[in-house]
Structure 1
Amino acid sequence: MNPSNSNLLYNKNFFKGEKRILFFLISWGSYFIVSYNTMFYFLGILPYSTPLLYSAVFIFPIDLFFLLFNLLQKYETLEGERNEILHRILTLNIDSNQNKRYLKSKLNSINTEETLANLEFWMRESKPYLDEKLDLEIASMAIGLTVQQTSELLNSKLGVSFRSYLNSFRITEAKKILKENPETSILSVAYTTGFGSKTAFNVEFKKSTGMSPLQYRQLGETNN
């Protein structure tokens, strides 16, 4: 992923959260306005108008479409959280023994320092962590290792799981946005930095900093 693609991904994620809210407000706001106007007609408050009388019938399918669209987006978010939980379960055993040497190392023929530097360079220059779908397999392919090798590399050299390593970059990026763009909503910051939901973002951010994203932003404003 080159820098230009990274910027495109950044912008795409930035507007994702805002669009979901905007679609919801516009669709249901329009439906309620039309419904109230129709109700006022039947109460004799408003005069007869064919568009007014039948507008609720025509706008309902549109609202239904937006509702289904939002449900689909929510499903994708929950699917991402489910995959993250599964990943944590699968790596739990590794995390609990991260300070122990592997009984049968898979890194004997690998220059670990150079490979770790390559991974660091890829993460900082291409910013693949902005993509919610980035996982251990994709990262391993990028640096020419197997999933097992990458996992062992991070655990033996840095003492962290891939998920923790990945989230450290996302949290760093989030801190930057929270400081430099105070008008950006917390939801947009979450999606922009690659998190699948605001809840997951809040949990990881507090785990890393000891405070919520909102508290971090307010602290920065106070210091300024």
Structure 2
Amino acid sequence: MEATATVLIADDDRAIRNSLERALHLEGYEVRTVPDGVQALAAVHAEPVDLLILDVMMPGVDGLGVAKVLRAEGDRTPILMLTARVETPDRVAGLDAGADDYLAKPFELEELLARLRALLRRAAPVSGEAADEGPLRAGDLRLDPRARRVWRGEREIELSKTEFDLLELLIRNTGIVLDHSTIYDRIWGYDFGPESKNLAVYISYLRRKLGDGDPPLIQTVRGVGYTLRPRGRTS
């Protein structure tokens, strides 16, 4: 059950650490807290957790550094990055470091909880039916839901959990236009509203990793959402 998951909070702001710890305890989570990146790495190495909440700006090793070290070690624990920086390049830096989701401060507690639930759902073991499923294909794109691996032609592409889940949703609905609300609900479990830039950031980053050309494999339908459309397919 999600509510019994263990969450590690790493933030140098004591007030934020304490308030998040109380809130998550009330939701039934086991919570551990540390004030910096060095202690975050030590804590994870000593005893693995189910999810990490990392502040980007911390003394010593920052949140980006923690994520990079864990990913380099092969640790795929879901990471939610917290930051006061809201510009797209800063979000991309978080994704580059291996974060699975990104939440700008100040944030609503309900939004954070929704994102935690979505990350934990996606990290859960696949069902027997999904485990027996073969690779999904769209043009030269191949996605293996069981192994959570993606190839474009012969090139394998490394994706974070959120990127993988977004691409899987699109490839399962190849040629179908998915609106913003549907994508937010399916991937994050929560519609963050018309002002949210999270989806656009993930789409642009996913396109970059796929090496999308012209026309792009993932196409924007203005005012509606996105669709995955292999080259040569016009409808």
TM-score by length of 2: 0.30
Indicate the structure (1 or 2) with the bigger Cα radius of gyration.
1
TM-score by length of 1: 0.31
Q: Considering fraction of residues, name the structure with more helix.
A: 1
Ranked by relative contact order (alpha carbons within 8 Å, sequence separation 6 or more), the top structure is 1
Q: Considering fraction of residues, name the structure with more strand.
A: 2
